[in-house]
């Protein structure tokens, strides 16, 4: 299994670009082009097996040091996953599988039991600020896209099937099956489900609890570097 990938330092530099902050009321329209069903807001429990992006749970994880890790482990059932969960964990049912996803500051942390799939990080977060982890799942067909947007904290992906291509001001990056990707907060981005079949993924956004998790960015225009064949 390939280990965590991150965009090169040029991406971090791009975070320093000045961006506008549209009305948070526009967040609901951030996903789609046409809009991805669910918009990463509708509950996953009521939409299992449907195409789209859905919210499993948002967990208040409190202040943490300046960098965090996202641990993804698979368990045989929900009961065993819940027995290994911490206050910063989410038990996620997706694609007929059960995942325990946990955010903390310890790269070496392991739950009791389960199979480790990936550890993503370190991802920078504001230190000493209350944080929220939004655990989500996304299943989309090749060619599905988001509108240009940003998150107020880092976003991480684990690709279980298919591929995605993410364009940022620093260029485009493709992530394939069993690869991981994270992008820093405030990074303008445009995501496309790339060629290679249906994309199935779990994802997380870790953001300051006082800020909207996602904001549309109509002032940034992608170049189209992520095409269907990308």
- Least confident span in 32-36, 48-52, 126-130: 32-36
E strand or H helix that includes residue 139: strand 131-140
Write down how long the chain is.
230
User: Rounded to whole angstroms, how far apart are CA atoms 94 and 8?
Assistant: 30
Looking from the CA of 100 toward its CB, the CA atoms found within 13 Å total: 26
Q: Which residue has the higher pLDDT, 3 or 103?
A: 103
pLDDT for the residue 87: 95
Say which residue the tokens 């789609």 belong to. Answer: 32
User: Sorting pLDDT into bands at 50, 70 and 90, what band is 192?
Assistant: very high
Residue spans per domain, the chain: 4-216
User: Sorting pLDDT into bands at 50, 70 and 90, what band is 70?
Assistant: very high
End-to-end CA distance of the chain: 22
Q: Virtual CA dihedral for 21, 23, 27, 33, nearest 10 degrees?
A: -80
Q: Which residue has the higher pLDDT, 69 or 16?
A: 69
CATH number of 4-216, picked from 1.10.1060.10, 3.40.50.720, 2.60.120.10, 3.30.499.10: 2.60.120.10
Q: Are 119 and 155 in contact (CB under 8 A)?
A: no
pLDDT for the residue 35: 64
């Amino acid at each position: 299994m390939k280990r965590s990938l991150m965009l090169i330092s040029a991406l971090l530099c791009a975070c320093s670009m000045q961006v506008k902050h549209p009305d948070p009321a526009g967040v609901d329209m951030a996903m789609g082009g046409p809009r991805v069903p669910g918009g990463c807001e509708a509950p996953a429990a009521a939409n299992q097996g449907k195409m789209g992006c859905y919210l499993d749970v948002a967990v208040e994880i409190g202040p943490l040091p300046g960098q965090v890790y996202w641990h993804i482990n698979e368990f045989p059932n929900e009961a065993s996953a819940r027995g290994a969960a911490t206050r910063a964990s989410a038990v996620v049912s997706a694609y007929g599988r059960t995942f325990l996803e946990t955010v903390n500051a310890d790269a070496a942390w392991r739950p009791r039991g389960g199979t480790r799939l990936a550890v993503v990080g370190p991802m920078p977060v504001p230190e000493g600020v209350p944080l929220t982890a939004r655990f989500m799942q996304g299943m989309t067909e090749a060619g599905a896209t988001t509108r240009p947007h940003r998150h107020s904290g880092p976003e991480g992906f684990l690709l279980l099937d298919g591929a995605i291509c993410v364009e940022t001001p620093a260029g485009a990056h493709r992530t394939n099956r069993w690869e991981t990707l994270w992008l820093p907060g405030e990074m303008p981005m445009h995501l496309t489900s790339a060629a290679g079949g249906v994309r199935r993924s779990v994802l997380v956004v870790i953001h300051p609890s006082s800020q909207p998790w996602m904001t549309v960015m109509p002032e940034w225009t992608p170049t189209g570097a992520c095409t269907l064949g990308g």
